[in-house]
Amino acid sequence: MALLRVDANLEAMDVVAGLIGELDARVVIRCLDADTVMAVAARVGGWPTPVGVWLEVVADYPASMVARDAATLSRLVALDAVVVSAGEAGAASAEVVKALLGGGPVDLENDVVRLAGAFNRPAPPRPVAVWWREGRTLRHGGEVLHEGAAEVRAAVTLTRYA
């Protein structure tokens, strides 16, 4: 399965919504000049197909907050994927996000977090695939996708992972 990252500014989100129906891959949106979760949530009812989000884990936006935002977003739009970009901590951060999207109590200790009996409720109403970025590669379970060429179309940049 291919994954297509769509990079756009906030003002181009209408263009992104128009393109999604034409694209032949799972779409993951990254807003370049605003909060991605807020940009996607602002178009409630405006996405023609399920969408994903590309979220950067940084010191003031840890994996646990990514999971919180993904769970909330999943209640507003048909969210089917989250790509966690966290540098060297990508796999560990994705593990946190995946665990916290499960709906049950989470006991987890890894390189980025120690959780005991943590909850993130409600769980998403449909499964959300959690991917993580490792250099120019995306990983989800045993699936590995490699970054291909980028294409600029209608004020957005499309980067295919296959």
- Over residues 77-104, the pLDDT tens digits come to 999 999 999 999 999 999 999 999 998 9
**Domain spans of the chain, in order of start:** 3-161
Q: Quick one: pLDDT at residue 24?
A: 82
Residue 159: which pLDDT band, with cuts at 50, 70 and 90?
very high
Architecture of domain 3-161 in this structure: Alpha-Beta Barrel (3.20)
* Cα angle value 62/44/38 (rounded, 5°): 30
Amino acid at 94: A
- Over residues 49-65, the pLDDT tens digits come to 999 999 999 999 999 99
- Over residues 108-158, the pLDDT tens digits come to 999 999 999 998 989 999 999 999 999 999 999 999 999 999 999 989 999
Please give the Cα distance from 4 to 20 (Å, whole number).
10
Q: Quick one: pLDDT at residue 21?
A: 84
Residue 23 pLDDT exceeds 90:
no
Residue 46 pLDDT exceeds 80:
yes
Cβ atoms of 7 and 19 within 8 Å: the answer is no
Q: Quick one: pLDDT at residue 98?
A: 98
Strand stretches in 43-99, DSSP E:
51-56, 79-85
Cβ atoms of 3 and 145 within 8 Å: the answer is yes
Q: Quick one: pLDDT at residue 22?
A: 87
The lowest-confidence range among 4-13, 28-37, 116-125 is 116-125
| DSSP 8-state class, residue 61 | B
